[in-house]
Amino acid sequence: MKRRAFLAGLVAASVAPRASARGRVPVGGRVAMRLPWPIGAIDPHRIDDPLAAIFGEALFDTLYAQAPDGQIVPSLAEAQPEHDGANLRVKLRAGLRTARDRPFGTKEAAQSIARARASGGRGWLADIPAPRDDGRALVFATKDAARLTRALASPIVAMVPSGFSPDAPDGTGPFRFGARDGALLLTRNRLAARGPAFLDEVAVRAAPNVSASLLAFEGGSDDVGWFERGLHAVRAGSKAFDHGAVGWVVLFTGRDATAWDGPGIAQSVADGVPYSRVANLHLGAPWPETPVQGWGGPPVTLIVREDAPWMIDVANAIAATITRPGHEVTVKPVSGADLASRRASRMFGLALDVVRSVGSGSLGAMVALATADNPTRAQEIMQHPPKLGDVSARTLTRTFRAGVIGEIRVVGGRVPDLVLAPSGNGFGFDLGASYRGAKRA
């Protein structure tokens, strides 16, 4: 199934009902935006990579993909898995090449799965055996085709070439990664496995704060305003969009919290932050009001990435809400590398970080949150999945040293001729299927 054919139908059905009456989707055009997030390296296999959560689908494909109706369909895979005795065989489409014109085959696919398993996919892939590459297909020692295709459709199991580098990411997606004048530049990938993007180019700049994005959109220099449609006034003619959550902002407790570093404490503290205190930060739907828990542990610093202005705003709002005399919480921005290192060693008091979605439903959310907290626990959950109803992410962390503060949403304003397509997997938008309508005279 060609990417453009698949996603053009998605656009027509889910985003722009008039598209079928207007003929072909226009090709071409550029889009400019700026986000209060770090701009640079992208690693689709990290559970804490905000740029991959937002733009991963623009650069990387998966072996299977989730269609708008929830079905799992082949993407880089040639077809549904073939039964071969006690095994399942997954054949790849022939002639695949990355945006940098590198061949992509079963060897690279097996390496991608192994790389994901060693990183953010450790829990999600816990019940999926490592494949054997026979030169023509990936051979999995399992008979559960539904579970296999669901696992391989996750964005955390994205396909990347051998020797992949997050600083110069390469994939088979609709765009090619680049940089220009300090901006992340996504340009149409003519070699895209499922067809190139409709847009020529998407330029993404790092905003020093949320206001910078809104001012740029309100002033007409940007085509997308993150979170809203202007700082001082709604931009004339602009349209609102909301393509849902791509992950969560999560509060973690560490060893420096001493007795307050225990299961469930982080979520209890997070639940005690009134929605009204952070409503301006667009963290998703309001949560139930609970008595303000506050921080009862020793004075601690709340570490957060220094290159993520929006996360710093969230951290400041949380610290101001939960701090108590003798139990002060002070925000300390640190480098991304320092945050990752201290989170891995758990040598911190409190930390605020990103957790990406890895799969749909409550189980996908639970595994993602467990992976960020304790990968071993995430593996156990996937190997012996609990029976879960449709529950909120906040309910899933009661036994974790992690508490959900709110959602990271792809929401804001757009110029009227820009159609932003929703992602087929339900996480954010798909820039490859987005387009600019023909301008009227």
| 238 token code pair | 């602009």
What are phi and psi for residue 226, nearest 5 degrees? -75, 125
- Predicted confidence at residue 439, as pLDDT, reads 58
- In sequence order, what E strands does 236-290 have? 239-253
Distances (CA, A) of 222 to 29, 148, 238: 13, 41, 12
Q: 48 with 355: CB under 8 angstroms?
A: yes
Q: 186 with 204: CB under 8 angstroms?
A: yes
- Predicted confidence at residue 13, as pLDDT, reads 38
Query: Looking at domain 245-409, which CATH architecture does it have?
Result: Roll (3.10)
Distances (CA, A) of 98 to 40, 41, 62, 170: 19, 18, 13, 6
**Amino acid at residue number 7:** L
Full-model pTM: 0.92
- In sequence order, what E strands does 40-110 have? 64-66, 72-74, 82-84, 87-91
pLDDT tens, per residue, the chain with 441 residues: 344 454 444 434 333 332 333 347 889 999 999 999 998 899 999 999 999 999 999 999 999 999 888 899 999 999 999 999 999 999 999 999 999 999 999 999 999 999 999 999 999 999 999 999 998 999 999 999 999 999 999 999 999 999 999 999 999 999 999 999 889 999 999 999 999 999 999 999 999 998 999 999 999 999 999 999 998 999 999 999 999 999 999 999 999 999 999 999 999 999 999 999 999 999 999 998 787 779 999 999 999 999 999 999 999 999 999 999 999 999 999 999 999 999 999 999 999 999 999 998 999 999 999 999 999 999 999 999 999 888 999 999 999 999 999 999 999 999 999 999 999 888 899 999 999 986 543
